[in-house]
Amino acid sequence: MMNPVAANTQIEDAAARQARRVAEAQAEYERELQNSQNERKQSAINAMIIGALICVVGLGITIWTYSTAAGGGRYVVAYGAIISGVIQFFRGLWAYAAERRGS
């Protein structure tokens, strides 16, 4: 038969090990959650940058073709690029704002 004091010590040691494992698991979960939030924020920022670039390219094409057709002639209004760039930018902005509120 086991000594009651030794048995109690073993139980306390097992409980302490279990508590450390739980604390380590909680810390790992928190790190993964933070990494996930950071990735979503970065993805939203990338969407805003890409949207802005697409919009600027569309505006640049429109301005360039308009200036070359100044004396009369045809020019291109790249409204598809402009609109899709604006939409992409605002999607990224909304995603970023949602992620900031959720943090």
Kindly list the domain boundaries of the chain, sorted by start residue. Answer: 4-102
CB 55 within 8 A of CB 81: yes
What kind and span of H or E run contains 26?
Answer: helix 4-68
Instruction: Encode pLDDT of 17-56 as tens digits.
Output: 899 999 999 989 999 988 888 999 999 999 999 999 999 9
What kind and span of H or E run contains 93?
Answer: helix 79-102
Coil, helix or strand for 78?
A: coil
What's the pTM? 0.72
